[in-house]
Chain A
Amino acid sequence: MNETLFRIMKALLAFLLVLSQCLLLTGCWDNKELNQLAIIVGAAIDKEKNNKIKLTVQVFLPQSQSGGQQSGSGKAQVEIKSAVGTNMADAASNLQREYSRRLFWGHCKTYIFGQSLSEIGNLERQIDFIDRHPEPREDSRLYVSDGKASDILQLSPSLEKYVGDVLRKMSEMHVGANITLKDFELMVTSEGGGAILPLIKIKHQNNDDRKMNVSPIIGGTAIFMRGKMIGRINEVESKGLLWVRNQNELPEITGYPKKGQTISLYLKRTKTKLIPKIEKGKWSITIYISKEGMIVQNGSKINIMTKKNTKRVENYIEKDVSNSIEKALNQVKDGMKVDPFGFATAFHRKYPKEWEKVKDHWEVVLPDIYVETKVKVHVLEPGLSTTTLE
């Protein structure tokens, strides 16, 4: 009897010991309650005087969510504050002085860099914070603003709760370049060192209501060489650039058969291949792009239901595609002498020995490389109409 009692006691004691480990599950020293955190949902970094930066953050206000009635657009759900510091970590700790709760970066998925900060170079020194600090995420998206970055955060968009959400959703829809922190790092450290970030502009809808319903738009692309922004291109050229990078932009492309006539295709599939070639010391690269889609508008006199005319339609669209690519190549490859297209990587992969010789003066070699674009558009369906009303 005594024996069994002893064994029961022993089992109970062991059980309690195991149970006591549960106390550790709360993470004693590291417990974070929601009401101890100031959750950052968007950050903007601008250049300041004396080599300093200004960090502007949007902090989510949890109070405005409570209370039964829909507050709608009346009350802002985010608060914007900024602080100056020598780098991001320093500015963030200065900012902390203004908050009763600990700033939490885990939900900040949008980082906007001011144009002037990007242009002085060494952007990677600021990005290092996002990369190294355990809280910010690798899939955060980076942007460059046209003008001051903090102005973008001031906007109060109508559909989403805060600007960061607008930008992130746009990027996910492939409006403009969709670049995460990891993508940017890979581009900056790649062979060519050319990188891109989407460029944000502000568009005022109408004049009488300046602050409200003003939304940021992604208008073009900022071109980087390593950590330095050296130029920008507009929407048409960005489209071309992104196609070469095997990324999608918005799915509609329009071709122009004759002046005043249009025909639009909704792309379903698109694929890019870069084939580099070195022949007798001459470097060239061929861009093969194939696209498949459905006609969504026929604003021309072409009867698209015949096989022969479908070919013609395809040709018009192909012309439009190669046009934007040509423009992008002109601007970026020849003008800025940067390679965000991935040409250097393609050469390195196929010709590692030849690459070894040119890798230190790639920017000299780059403009001389002959680029051939071969676009193949395939129209799959005519849409739901066969003829036009004309």
Chain B
Amino acid sequence: MHDKGKITAYQMALMIYPTIYATAVLMVPEITGQYVGRDSWAAPILGSLNGFFTAYVLYKLHKMYPNESLIQYSKHIIGPFLSKILGLFYLFFFLYMCGFILKEYSFFIGISLLPKTPMIAIIGSVVIMASLAITGGVEILGRASQLFVPIFILPIPIFTIMLLKDLDPKNVLPILEHGLLPLLQGSAAPQAWFSEVFLISMFLPFLKDPEKGLKWSFISLFAVLLSLVSLNLLTTFLFGEMTASYTFPVFKAVRIISLSDFFEHLEAGIITIWILGAYIKITVFYYALVLGTAQWLNLSDFKPIVLPFGLLISLFAIWEFANLQEQFEFSKFIFPFYVPFMLTVLPTILLIIAKIRTRNTMKKEPPRISNY
């Protein structure tokens, strides 16, 4: 064990919620809107199926190898050599995702609040904060999300109420005008985001109450589903078909809030709250990267590699995309295949192999129960 901390399943759920939702809230309404227009509220519902499936697969794997993460237990399933290669894939994937999230974060902050600030300052400041939390271990992450995530959820109901007078529910009609195909295309992006629930595999070994792990993962997924559906409904009620023509529809919606002439320009406050969620998301991926590397290399402690990896993910964030358009294109066409492949398909294959192997060993030695 690299980290002696223990968290509760509830804390894990609080970490997973912003891990999926924090960046989905920025990009998903625009991307789904392009395909499904006013039916964008239905896309996350389809997409969430993948999330529930992924969580179930990883929980099953965790049940078989309770004290290890995916990087570690893969060697019991596919042998030490292949598992090292698979581990490398995952570590690179985490590294890439950290860069992806940081880049998205800095683009959004750059457009909305700090247009002249150099990207490295925006990225650097959040990476320093994240590395501080990670050095503290998993318990700090759990506590931090317990502190931040309730605040992070708050804005949705608040600005729904504030926008109430501008909403027109008739904008969702007619429902499914062009059939189901656009809906399937539109749910490609949300399902990729939902598959990020994979990160529970890094946290399940630390649970004090592992039997509640699946339940709380599902609750967390359901909360994300609810949030995304309500946000997509909100933007459709507000903008109708125009939703897809805004880069960040939810941000536009917040800017429209104006109550009795003085309660307006709320976006700065909303962004501040959003940063709390984005911070948790960055920290969770960063932690998965650092802990995974330590497990992969059989290091005795992961703390010494936190800061070097911080530098590396900052560099990745700067290298990954030249502009926001490129990132949007990537999120639309590559992300929906790349991410679920790593986070859903590969674990499913591992689970199938593991099941077959345990069955075979059971046949050979009937009295002995597998003690992996």
Stretch at the interface among B98-106, B110-118, B314-322: B110-118
Cβ contacts under 8 Å, A17 to chain B: 128, 132
Q: Which of A14, A29, A182, A189 contacts B114 (CB 8 A)?
A: A29
User: Is A27 touching B242 in the complex (CB atoms < 8 A)?
Assistant: no
Q: Which of B111, B118, B128, B174 contacts A349 (CB 8 A)?
A: B174
- Cβ-based interface call for A28 (8 A): yes
Interface residues on B, range: 20 to 34
User: Is B112 touching A28 in the complex (CB atoms < 8 A)?
Assistant: no
- Cβ-based interface call for A151 (8 A): no
Stretch at the interface among A134-142, A192-200, A262-270: A134-142
Interface residues on A, range: 20 to 34
20 contacts between A and B (CB under 8 A): A14-B132, A21-B128, A24-B125, A27-B113, A29-B114, A29-B117, A29-B118, A30-B117, A106-B265, A134-B111, A139-B255, A139-B256, A139-B264, A182-B239, A186-B242, A189-B242, A348-B174, A349-B170, A350-B174, A352-B174
Least Cβ–Cβ distance between A316 and chain B, in angstroms: 32
Whether A352 contacts B113 in the complex (CB less than 8 A), given A139-B256, A186-B240, A189-B242, comes out as no
Least Cβ–Cβ distance between B26 and chain A, in angstroms: 15
Cβ contacts under 8 Å, A349 to chain B: 170, 173-174
Query: What CA separation (Å) do A189 and B37 show in the bound complex?
Result: 13
Whether A182 contacts B117 in the complex (CB less than 8 A), given A134-B111, A189-B242, A352-B174, comes out as no
User: Is B177 touching A352 in the complex (CB atoms < 8 A)?
Assistant: yes
Query: What CA separation (Å) do A186 and B171 show in the bound complex?
Result: 11
Chain B residue nearest in CB terms to A21:
B125
Query: What CA separation (Å) do A182 and B111 show in the bound complex?
Result: 20
User: Is B132 touching A27 in the complex (CB atoms < 8 A)?
Assistant: no
Query: What CA separation (Å) do A106 and B115 show in the bound complex?
Result: 14
Chain B residue nearest in CB terms to A182:
B256
User: Is B177 touching A137 in the complex (CB atoms < 8 A)?
Assistant: no
Query: What CA separation (Å) do A186 and B237 show in the bound complex?
Result: 12
Cβ contacts under 8 Å, A28 to chain B: 117, 121
Least Cβ–Cβ distance between A35 and chain B, in angstroms: 18
Cβ contacts under 8 Å, A189 to chain B: 241-242, 245
Cβ contacts under 8 Å, B241 to chain A: 189-190
- Cβ-based interface call for B151 (8 A): no
Query: What CA separation (Å) do A186 and B125 show in the bound complex?
Result: 39
Cβ contacts under 8 Å, B240 to chain A: 186, 190
Q: Which of A30, A139, A348 contacts B115 (CB 8 A)?
A: A30
Cβ contacts under 8 Å, B129 to chain A: 21
Least Cβ–Cβ distance between A278 and chain B, in angstroms: 14
Cβ contacts under 8 Å, B67 to chain A: none
- Cβ-based interface call for B258 (8 A): yes
Cβ contacts under 8 Å, A352 to chain B: 174, 177
Chain B, range 229-266, C-beta contacts under 8 Å to A? 238-242, 245, 252, 255-256, 258, 264-265
Whether A186 contacts B239 in the complex (CB less than 8 A), given A21-B125, A139-B256, A352-B177, comes out as yes
Q: Which of A27, A106, A139, A348 contacts B117 (CB 8 A)?
A: A27
Whether A30 contacts B116 in the complex (CB less than 8 A), given A185-B242, A186-B240, A352-B177, comes out as yes
Cβ contacts under 8 Å, B177 to chain A: 352
Chain A residue nearest in CB terms to B247:
A132
Chain A residue nearest in CB terms to B170:
A349
